């Protein structure tokens, strides 16, 4: 069901309470190291301001565990957002309370207020109705533009939607359109790429992709479990011994459905899990004892490139190697280059958030692909076909 969006509301002269995802990484000095999520929120905020609304933003940051912790204050976010918007952004002293209510009700059209970290209150994650009511009382309309938190039934994602007219923001709309469109009506051939550390985290996703995609490319640590399921010698590589039967089942299901299920044909290994480990190439069935698989090799990238050469829709989630180690980020970076090439010739390329999105941002390729999701866990649950509480709470068109 298509969801109503900010375009379906008249917000002139109204106070709009908007859930955003400002859970950005900070260094030890409290400086933002990646403002991608803040930038992703700008189109909706600017749309509301241009439409004559006063905008009240709310977000969490980190895991303060229901207690006030200055380390997780949204103050650095308010400063950065003000720079990006080119206008002041006031930071409220709290997320709720009389002082916050007075500040919100005094807000004029064109002004922006950022509430302090929602998770300073345990009632946020508990989806406490009274806490949600206090948030809702700050505004006339509710907009959810935080796809990355839409898989959580929290006060700010579902509770508020019971008390106010609730619609999707432009980023939420974009996420649903691209991810939903790729799954429901993909341009074919549709190639899915799955990486990351563990098969166990993605069994439901893999089952769905085997059903929907024409080919599935596997990389990352999760490939090791498929290797071992076939009897390969993989040294000291990360493996999920309790998922070997699942791995065999998934491969058999792909074969039975006539789907291409492609594993790496060569791998990069190291003697230790470390950034300074020496990178050596071998076949995945001949990893020496004491060594571990940390990336895919160049022959694998050629094989993946051959499959991608015809793809009209590509969906990728999970890095192909230990992307935080430069020596073992080569496979992931080469894949990003392949996706850029496909995008340039008109293919739809979608990155499913999390570590994959971070890898794309690290090489400055976010604007060279069709869509890079801001959701990590939310993207995975959406790909599994599960209903996201934060989306279900919004009005249908």
Give the catalytic positions in this structure: 37, 198, 354, 377
> Do residues 166 and 140 make contact, with C-beta atoms less than 8 angstroms apart?
no
Helix H segments across 243-351? 244-256, 298-308, 330-344
Instruction: Give the Cβ contact number of residue 51 at 10 Å.
Output: 17
Q: Tokens for 312, please give them.
A: 């009209």
Sheet order of strands, 292-296 included: 280-282, 267-270, 292-296
| 220 touches 284 (CB < 8 A) | no
CA 92 to CA 57: how far, in whole Å?
A: 10
Count of H-run helices and E-run strands, the chain: 14, 17
* CB-neighbour burial class of residue 100 (10 A; exposed 0-12, middle 13-18, buried 19+): buried
Could you tell me which of 21, 326, 46 has the C-alpha nearest to residue 150? 21
Distance CA 253, CA 361 (A): 34
Check: CB of residue 377 under 8 Å from CB of residue 350: no
Distance CA 209, CA 19 (A): 30
């Amino acid at each position: 069901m298509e969801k109503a969006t900010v375009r379906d509301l008249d917000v002139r002269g109204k106070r709009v309470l908007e859930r955003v995802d400002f859970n950005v990484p900070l260094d030890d000095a409290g400086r933002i190291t990646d403002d991608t999520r803040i930038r992703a929120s700008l189109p909706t905020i600017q749309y509301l301001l241009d439409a004559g609304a006063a905008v009240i933003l709310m977000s969490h940051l980190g895991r303060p565990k229901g207690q006030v912790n200055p380390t997780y204050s949204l103050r650095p976010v308010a400063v950065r957002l003000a720079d990006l918007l080119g206008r002041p952004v006031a930071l409220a002293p709290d997320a709720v309370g009389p002082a916050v209510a007075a500040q919100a009700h005094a807000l004029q059209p064109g002004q922006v207020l950022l509430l302090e970290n929602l998770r300073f209150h345990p009632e946020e994650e508990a989806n406490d109705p009274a806490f949600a009511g206090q948030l809702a009382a700050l505004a006339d309309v509710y907009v959810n533009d935080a796809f990355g938190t839409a898989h959580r039934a929290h006060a700010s994602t579902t509770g508020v939607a019971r008390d106010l007219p609730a619609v999707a923001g432009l980023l939420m709309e974009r996420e649903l359109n691209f991810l939903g469109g790729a799954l429901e009506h993909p341009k074919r051939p549709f190639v899915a790429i799955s990486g990351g550390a563990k098969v166990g985290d993605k069994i439901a996703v893999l089952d769905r992709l085997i059903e929907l995609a024409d080919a599935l490319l596997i990389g990352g640590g999760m490939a090791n479990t498929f290797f071992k399921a076939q009897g390969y010698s993989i040294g000291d590589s990360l493996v999920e011994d309790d998922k070997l039967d699942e791995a065999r089942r998934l491969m058999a299901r792909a074969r039975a459905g006539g789907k291409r299920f492609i594993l790496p044909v060569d791998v990069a290994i190291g003697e230790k899990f470390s950034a300074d480990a020496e990178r050596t190439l071998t076949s995945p069935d001949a990893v020496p004892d004491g060594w571990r698989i940390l990336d895919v090799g160049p022959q694998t990238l050629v094989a993946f490139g051959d499959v991608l050469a015809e793809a009209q829709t590509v969906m990728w989630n999970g890095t192909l190697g230990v992307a935080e180690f430069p020596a073992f980020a080569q496979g992931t970076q080469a894949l990003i280059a392949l996706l850029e090439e496909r995008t340039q010739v008109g293919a739809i390329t979608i990155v499913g958030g999390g570590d994959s999105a971070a890898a794309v941002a690290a090489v400055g390729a976010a604007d060279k692909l069709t869509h890079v999701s801001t959701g990590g866990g939310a993207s995975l649950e959406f790909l599994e076909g599960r209903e996201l509480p934060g989306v279900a709470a919004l009005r249908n068109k």
